[in-house]
Amino acid sequence: MLFNDVIGQSALKKGLPELMSENRLAHALLFLGKEGSGAFPLAIAFAQYVMCQKVNLPKTSTETTSSLFESSLFGSETPSSAKEESATLPLEEACNTCPSCLKMADMVHPDVHFSYPIVPKKSGQAIICTDYITEWREFIKSYPYGNVYDWLQFINAENKQGNISVHECNDIIRKLNLKSFEGGYKILIMWLPEYLKEAGNKLLKLIEEPPEKTLFILVAESDENILPTILSRCQIIKVPKLDDADIEKALVERNKKDSDIARRIASVSQGNYREALQMSQHADEDWQSLLREWLNAILKTGPMAQAKWVDEIAKLGREKQKQFLRYYLHLLQLALKIKAIPEMAVNYPSKDLDFAQRLNKIAGFSQIQAIADELDNAVYYIERNANAKMLFMALTIKIYYIIQNNIVLLND
């Protein structure tokens, strides 16, 4: 995977190669970015950059082979074309043609190891990540922006919770203490070290005093759930959420979405490309009609209509429920923006704009913020398999009490 394959993140694409070229590369890096930001594909692209033989040519091959050119059999000097080639070799991207890059493209480089949350294939079985390496390679190629839920579903984990076990930590220690197969760096890419738990303490000595030319690349979504002893040993590289423009461009160019649809999805996705991809699969869903029906049930038609609506939303499935709530959050954010800065209204689709203006009639700033907080909490609990009927009924009651004193009917 190349930096060019990573969506957005132009500042990091420029800054990461500089760490290596300026000899500022720490032996343990933590790529910290929220789901869908591209922290994981960025880490893989950086690993390929580090392993690329042509990237490393100016530091190694030109020095070791210079004497051969300077004093050849016939006493001639180094050919000027060879000097110019090594001097002008671009260092901002891996070549993607050398043997090392070709192995990285297939995720089979013998000196690059992966660690990730897994579940036992049989109850009580002790397993390590290489037991899932075939599935892992396929997953990376198919879902580079996927989350842990996508991965666990990909390996048919059902409702089991993944983790990085003590057996995996022992295997990491074994692998990284071996000699490099190709004489260069050895790299461990650990996806979601939040799943290490206390077993991660076994890696402390290795991270603090690694063998020569050994690089740890950890990719996390939250530093709060990482062992402090591991966190303190890492150089943190913060990966920001993606810009709406970058998500819109990716949806148009990579997924062939209509520009208007891509723009609408990007504005709702909150910098999460994984979420944008999920939404693009259901771009024709009429979330606004569903939201209108819900709010009218809350504010006018009463308990029977509310119960009917909750039954309907519970049938949609977890991903669609999250998308619906995030669409509502998008409209609430839009309502606040146009209330505070009216001239921003020209930047949004007229359909969303009209509904957001209606929402401003329902609630003021504090009420909108209170509803947004409840929606955020609901998304959190949906991701953790909350009962949909109970959750949406509770949410219905909460929204009613938040806005009950400022009611208008949301007609078509």
Residue 26 structure tokens: 């720490």
Q: Tell me the mean pLDDT in the region 252-263.
A: 86
Q: How far apart are CA 72 and CA 228, in angstroms?
A: 56
* Residue 107 identity: M
pLDDT at 61 (0 to 100): 41
Tallying the residues shown for the chain, one arrives at 412
Check residue 310 and give its pLDDT.
Answer: 95
The reported pLDDT for the residue numbered 384 is 82
Q: Residue 248: what pLDDT?
A: 92
Q: Check whether 78 has a pLDDT greater than 80.
A: no
Other beta carbons less than 10 A from residue 131's beta carbon: 16
| Host H or E run for residue 128 | none
- What CA–CA distance (Å, rounded) separates 42 from 246? 15
DSSP, residue by residue, 321-367: HHHHHHHHHHHHHHHHHHHH-GGGGGGS-HHHHHHHHHHHHH--HHH
Mean pLDDT of the chain: 84
Q: Which residues have C-beta within 8 Å of that of residue 315, sequence separation ≥ 6?
A: none
Top pLDDT among 360 and 11 is at 11
Which sign does the torsion angle of CA 80, 83, 84, 85 carry? positive
Model's pTM, two decimal places?
Answer: 0.73
Task: Domain 287-403: give its CATH code.
Answer: 1.20.272
Whether pLDDT at 85 is above 70: no
- Domains of the chain, residue spans: 3-55+91-239, 244-280, 287-403
CA 181, 186, 190, 191 dihedral sign is negative
Per-residue pLDDT, 410: 52
**How high is the pLDDT of residue 65?**
36
Question: With contact defined as beta carbons under 8 Å apart, do 330 and 267 qualify?
Answer: yes
Question: pLDDT digits over 303-325, tens only?
Answer: 999 999 999 999 988 878 988 89
Cβ pair 257, 265 in contact under 8 A: yes
Contact 78, 69 (CB under 8 A): yes
Question: 136 or 412, which is more confident?
Answer: 136
pLDDT tens-digit map of 324-341 = 898 888 888 888 877 777
Q: How many helices (H) and strands (E) does the chain have?
A: 19, 5
- Give the Cβ contact number of residue 81 at 10 Å: 7
Closest C-alpha among 400, 405, 401 to residue 299: 400
pLDDT digit string, tens, across residues 259-312: 888 887 888 788 999 988 877 776 666 788 899 999 999 988 889 999 999 999
Model pLDDT for residues 27-65, shown as the tens digit of each residue: 999 999 999 999 999 999 999 999 998 887 754 443 433
Residue with tokens 């993607």: 96
CATH architecture of residue range(s) 3-55+91-239: 3-Layer(aba) Sandwich (3.40)
Sheet order of strands, 28-33 included: 112-115, 186-191, 214-220, 28-33, 235-239
**Residue 406 banded pLDDT, cuts 50, 70, 90:** low
pLDDT of residue 282: 64
pLDDT band with cut points at 50, 70 and 90 for residue 129 = very high
**pLDDT above 60: residue 411:** no
- Which of 125-129, 164-168, 343-347 has the weakest average pLDDT? 343-347
Residue 362: predicted pLDDT: 83
